[in-house]
A and B are shown apart, each in its own frame.
Chain A
Amino acid sequence: MSVHNEMKVEFLSKSANEAFARVTVAAFISQLDPNIEELSDVKTAVSEAVTNAIIHGYQNSNGIVRIACTLTDKTAEIIIHDDGQGIENIGQARQPLFTSSKNDERSGMGFTVMETFMDELTVMSEPGAGTTIRMVKHFGTLNA
């Protein structure tokens, strides 16, 4: 049986919404019947991208974070967008351990986590023009 479904959600860039965002996406993708590990991978990756939008994109000021999620058969595509300050050097930002907030106890592992836990990661960003993160996860590839 083939599945096609879409959802969009947007919310203020408040840290309390990090849990809201990952739980909402997890609830939506649960119709693809992911296993516990796959669900936890998606929750963690969404949390990374949303947290980045809030602390780096909007620098903890008010803005809107947008999430769009599309399900096609056994695949989820998740797009997370902020209209914040953008990333100057995407290659550098994606390096493990790179962080621009040295005094904040950040480990610089967010992008590495997204890359490891998801099947695809695309980062689109320009200084002043915000950031869009596209992630894809295929379900049931390991223990179908």
Chain B
Amino acid sequence: MALQLEKRDRSLIAFIDGELDHHCAASIRETLDSAYQQAQIKNLILDFSKLTFMDSSGIGVIIGRYKMVQAGKGKMLITGISANVLRLLTLSGIHKIIPIVNNVETALKTV
């Protein structure tokens, strides 16, 4: 698993490359949280276009980050999801609270 971070204005874009399971969750969480705590960052965009696997541990990571972004009065969006990830987001109801958009550019226009 590799995490690539990009900052644009007040948004943090995180590209998650590889697998998001319980084993990887802690390091993803720590990296995202410390980057988000940096000054000026408000919004979080999670890009899953390079994600090869996710299970319910990923749902936990997403909901946890959503709470953090809410506390920071920002917006969170998800982009680049596969059919399998969409099923997980639908099952858990995440699709109702976090907008899912096609690509990062659309996400940046929405925040």
Contacts and interface: CB of A to CB of B under 8 A. Distances in A.
A103 B95 CA distance: 23
A113 B63 contact: no
Identify which of B56, B57, B83 gathers the most chain A CB atoms within 10 Å of its CB.
B56
A135 B107 CA distance: 38
Label chain A's interface by main secondary structure.
helix
Interface in B76-92: 83-84, 87-88, 91-92
B56 A110 contact: yes
A69 to B, nearest CB: 18
Contacts of A18: 21-23
Interface residues of B, number: 22
A40 B88 CA distance: 12
Interface string A1-33: 000000000000001101100100000000000
A132 interface: no
B84 to A, nearest CB: 5
Interface in A41-77: 41, 43-44, 47-48, 51, 54-55
Nearest to A104: B60
A105 B61 contact: yes
Given A105-B29, A116-B91, A51 B84 contact: no
Given A37-B84, A105-B63, A109-B92, A16 B23 contact: yes
B6 interface: no
Label chain B's interface by main secondary structure.
helix
Contact of B56 (A43, A54, A109): A109
A92 interface: no
A107 B63 contact: yes
B64 interface: yes
A59 to B, nearest CB: 13
A107 B53 contact: no
B22 A54 contact: yes
Interface of B: 19, 21-23, 25, 29, 53-57, 59-61, 63-64, 83-84, 87-88, 91-92
8 contacts: A40-B84, A48-B56, A51-B21, A51-B22, A109-B56, A109-B91, A110-B56, A116-B87
